[in-house]
Amino acid sequence: MSLSEYDRVRYRRQLMIPGFGEKAQLRLKKATALIAGLGGLARLSPCISRLRESGTLSLLIWTTSSSAILNRQVLHWDEDVGESKVNSAMQKLQRSNPTIHVEGINLTIDDKNVLELAEDCDVILDAMDNFSVRYLLNAAAIAYRVPLIHGAVYGYEGA
């Protein structure tokens, strides 16, 4: 795999960063990120927007957008109310970078599917509001020896 002319133009400024260059951009292009949760943990949305420069994003969530949550959502807008958050996020990410592969998966993560979901991932982003799922994602990250990026919200604070 190599960078296309489109890639070279799109990522020109990244390619100029000392120590980054084409080799690092190719690694990003080949990477797969599992993103669990697309809701109120909007502080992970900057991570998602950076990961749109990678090769494949697998998006997981099983709820729909509602107007009550739009004030803290980056990927979901008024026009998305009632739509699946996965579909909403997929559309935005695909429009922002037509060369990436975005896979949407509408399901509940559990102990029967977490290892399969994380099997070929290079990084896992945990934006869930559910402790049991967080523990499952952590176990999958340990099992596959991949980084786990974890976000949490408490009141008006986020980490």
Residue with tokens 């986020």: 158
Tokens for 97?
């970078």
What's this model's pTM, rounded to 2 decimal places?
0.76
Starting at the edge strand found earlier in the chain, the sheet holding 123-126 runs 101-105, 56-60, 32-36, 123-126, 148-150
pLDDT in the model for residue 118: 93
More confident residue, 1 or 45: 1
Q: What counts of helices (H) and strands (E) characterise the chain? A: 7, 7
Determine contact, residues 63/86, Cβ cutoff 8 Å.
no
pLDDT in the model for residue 135: 93
pLDDT in the model for residue 88: 77
31-153 has which fold?
A: Rossmann fold (3.40.50)
pLDDT of residue 75 exceeding 90, the answer is no
Handedness of CA 34, 38, 40, 45 (dihedral sign): positive
Domains of the chain, by residue range, sit at: 1-30, 31-153
% the chain with pLDDT above 90: 15
Reading phi first (left if > 0) and then psi (alpha if -120 to 50, else beta), residue 155 is in left
More confident residue, 148 or 47: 148
pLDDT in tens, 94-121: 787 888 788 888 788 899 999 999 999 8
Tokens for 142?
């340990």
Average pLDDT of the chain, as a whole number: 77
